[in-house]
Structure 1
Amino acid sequence: MLKQRIITGVILAPLVIAGFVLLNQQWFAVMIGLIVTLAAWEWARLAGTQSQPGRVLYALVMALLVAGLYFDTSPPPILLGIAAVWWLLATFLILRYPLGQKLRTGYLPYLYGLLILLPAWYGLTWLRMQPGGLWLLLAVVVTVWAADIGAYFAGKNFGRNKLLPRVSPGKTIEGLLGGVVVTQLLAVAAMLYLGWSLPSILGGMLGILVIVVFSVVGDLTESLFKREQGLKDSSNLLPGHGGIMDRIDSLTAAIPLFALGWYLFGGQLG
C-alpha cells in the first residue's frame, strides 16, 4: 500500500503542479473540470448510486454544468455565496449526525454533490484569472495542506478528545487545534514578509482560521456520506490514495470560501 501510494504521488504531483503553472486559463479550467467530473462520478456512489450508467450520467451532468459555468457572465458572489450557505448547512449536518436523516435521503445528496464540486471548480478558475492568481492558488492549497499536516502530528502526539467520533472517529480536537496553530504561524510569517499592515494581518488571520475550520468541515462531510454508504474510500482511482474525493474533500470547502473572501476583501489587504 505504501509503495502504491508513493508511486501514485510521484506520478501525479508533477503533472498537477505543471498544470497549475504551465497551462493557460482555458486549459487550466479544462483540467480542473476533468478532475471535478471524475470526482462527480465518485460522489454519485456516495449519494447512493451503485450502477455504472447512473454514476456516468451524474458525471456527464457535472461536466455540462461546468461547461455552462465557463461561459457564464454572472458575478462571482452568486455561486460562491451559495457555496458559503451550503457549507453552513453541511456544518449543521455533521454536528447533528446521525440525526437529520431526511436531509440525507432522496435526491438531496446529488444536489449536495453539485454544491460541493461546482463552486470548487469555479473558485479555482476564478482565482487563476486574478492578478497573482498562481500565488493565490498556492496560498489556499498550502493552507489546507499545512492544516492537514499540523492536525496529523498534533492528533498523533497529543490527541485525547474526539472531535466528532460518530462521523470520523480518528479526528481529535487537539488535531484541529494543531492545524490551526500551524496555519496561523505560516500565515503571519507570510504576511509579515509581504509587509502587510497590522489591521490586514489581523484580518488575514481571521480569514485563514475560517478557511481551516471549513476545510475540516469539507473532510467530515465526505466522511459522513462514506459512513452512510459503508465505504472506506470514494473509489480506487488513485492506487494507495483511494479516490479523488478523498484527496480534495478539504479543498472543496476551502477554495470557494477563500475565493469569496478574496473577492470581498482582497483589495483591502496589504
Structure 2
Amino acid sequence: MTRTRLLAALVMAPLAIAAILLLPTPWMVALAAVLFLAGLWEWFDLAQIEDTLARTVLLVANLAVMVALVWASRSSAGYTMALFQLASMIGVIWWLLALLWLGRYDFASDHDTNARVFKLAAGALSMIPAWCALAWIHSTQPNGHRWLLTALAIVWAADTGAYFAGRTFGGRLFGGRKLAPRISPNKTLEGLLGGVVCGVIVGIVFALIAGATPAQLPAVAVVALLAVLFSVVGDLFESLLKRHVGVKDSGNLIPGHGGILDRVDGVLAALPVFALGKAVLGF
C-alpha cells in the first residue's frame, strides 16, 4: 500500500504544483472548483444521497453559490476579495463547530431522521469557504501562488509526517493512547506530533521561498501550527462521516489514496485558517 501511495503521490504532486505556480488565478480557481465539487459529490455518498437527480441538483446549487460569489465580487477595478474573505471567516467558524461535533459521535448518525440535512450543510460549509480561501491566497500580491503552495505543502507534510511517525513511533511515546479511537482507531498521538513538527518546518521553509522575512517566521510558525491542527479536524470529520456509513474510503479514484475527498479533507479545514491567519498576522 505504501508503494502504491508513493507512486500516486509522485504523479499527482508535480501536476498540482505546476497548476498552482503556473496558472493565473481565474484558471486556478476554476480548476479548484472542479476538484472541490468532485469531492462534494463523494460527500453526498457519505450522506447517503442515492438519487442521482437529487445529487445533481445539490451539486448545481453549490456551483451556483460559487458563481454568485464571483459575479458579486466584480468591481470597476476588477475584482474585490471581500466576499471571499468573509466566506473564509465563516469557514474557520464552521470548523470550530465541527470540532464540537466530533465530541458527539452519534450526532446526525441516523439517516432515517434529518441527519442528511446537517451533513449537506456541513458539505457546503466545508467546500465553499475552502475554495474562497484558495482564491484569496492565490490572488494575494506578491507571490500569492507561492503562498498557496506553502499552505498546501503544510497539509501535505503534516499528513506524511503523521503517517510515518505513527507507523514508526505509534504507542511508544504516549503509552498507546489514540487520538480519537472511536472515530479513527489508527491515528495516534505520536502521529499527531510528527505531523505538527513536519508541517511547521515545511511551512517555515516554503514561507521563505514565498518571500517571508526572518522577522515574520514566528508568525508563519503559529499559522502553520493552526493549519495543521485544523487539517486534523478536517481529516477526523471525514472519518466520522465514513464511520457513520461503514465505508473505508470516500471513493476509489486515486490508487492507494481512496477518493478525492480523502485527499482534500485536511485541506478543506486548513485553507481558511491559513488565509485568515496570514491576513491577520501580516505576512
With over 3 angstroms needed to count, the CA separation of the structure-2 counterparts of 1:7 and 1:192, relative to structure 1, is closer
Partner of 1:210: 226
Kindly state the Cα deviation for residue 249 of structure 1 after the two structures are TM-superposed.
0.4
Kindly state the Cα deviation for residue 192 of structure 1 after the two structures are TM-superposed.
7.3
Kindly state the Cα deviation for residue 181 of structure 1 after the two structures are TM-superposed.
1.8
Q: Secondary structure at the match of 1:96?
A: coil
- TM, length-normalised to structure 1: 0.88
Partner of 1:26: 26
The runs of 5 or more residues in structure 2 that have no matched partner are 74-81, 172-176
Partner of 2:40: 40
With over 3 angstroms needed to count, the CA separation of the structure-2 counterparts of 1:7 and 1:171, relative to structure 1, is closer
Kindly state the Cα deviation for residue 124 of structure 1 after the two structures are TM-superposed.
0.8
**C-alpha distance in structure 2 between counterparts of 1:50 and 1:86, whole Å:** 26
With over 3 angstroms needed to count, the CA separation of the structure-2 counterparts of 1:209 and 1:135, relative to structure 1, is same
Q: Secondary structure at the match of 1:71?
A: helix
Structure 1 contact 95–164 (Cα < 8 Å) conserved: no
Partner of 2:140: 130
Kindly state the Cα deviation for residue 45 of structure 1 after the two structures are TM-superposed.
1.1
Alignment of 1:140 onto 2:158: no
The runs of 5 or more residues in structure 1 that have no matched partner are none
Structure 1 contact 40–58 (Cα < 8 Å) conserved: no
Partner of 1:49: 49
**C-alpha distance in structure 2 between counterparts of 1:121 and 1:224, whole Å:** 22
**C-alpha distance in structure 2 between counterparts of 1:12 and 1:163, whole Å:** 28
Of 197, 201, 214, the match for 1:196: 214
Partner of 2:85: 77
Kindly state the Cα deviation for residue 155 of structure 1 after the two structures are TM-superposed.
1.1
With over 3 angstroms needed to count, the CA separation of the structure-2 counterparts of 1:210 and 1:3, relative to structure 1, is closer
With over 3 angstroms needed to count, the CA separation of the structure-2 counterparts of 1:54 and 1:191, relative to structure 1, is closer
**C-alpha distance in structure 1 between counterparts of 2:20 and 2:134, whole Å:** 10
Kindly state the Cα deviation for residue 106 of structure 1 after the two structures are TM-superposed.
3.8
Q: Secondary structure at the match of 2:138?
A: helix
Query: Which has the larger displacement, 29-38 or 49-58?
Result: 49-58
**C-alpha distance in structure 1 between counterparts of 2:3 and 2:153, whole Å:** 25
Deviation per CA, 1:58-102: give whole Å up to 9, x if none: 222222222122223344432111111100111111123235758
Q: Give the 5 Å matches for 1:112-131.
A: 112-131=122-141
Q: Secondary structure at the match of 2:55?
A: helix
**C-alpha distance in structure 1 between counterparts of 2:131 and 2:205, whole Å:** 29
- TM, length-normalised to structure 2: 0.84
Query: Which has the larger displacement, 177-186 or 9-18?
Result: 9-18
Kindly state the Cα deviation for residue 4 of structure 1 after the two structures are TM-superposed.
6.2
**C-alpha distance in structure 1 between counterparts of 2:35 and 2:206, whole Å:** 30
Alignment of 1:86 onto 2:102: no
Of 180, 185, 188, the match for 1:164: 180
Deviation per CA, 1:156-175: give whole Å up to 9, x if none: 12212200011101101111
User: Residue type of the partner of 1:123?
Assistant: A
User: Residue type of the partner of 1:205?
Assistant: A
Structure 2 contact 37–59 (Cα < 8 Å) conserved: yes
Q: Secondary structure at the match of 2:168?
A: helix
Partner of 1:249: 265
TM-align CA RMSD: 2.5
Structure 1 contact 184–205 (Cα < 8 Å) conserved: yes
Query: Which has the larger displacement, 9-18 or 178-187?
Result: 9-18
Q: How many residues align?
A: 265
Of 97, 116, 120, the match for 1:110: 120
User: Residue type of the partner of 2:241?
Assistant: F
- Structure 1 ranges of 4+ moved more than 6 A: 1-4
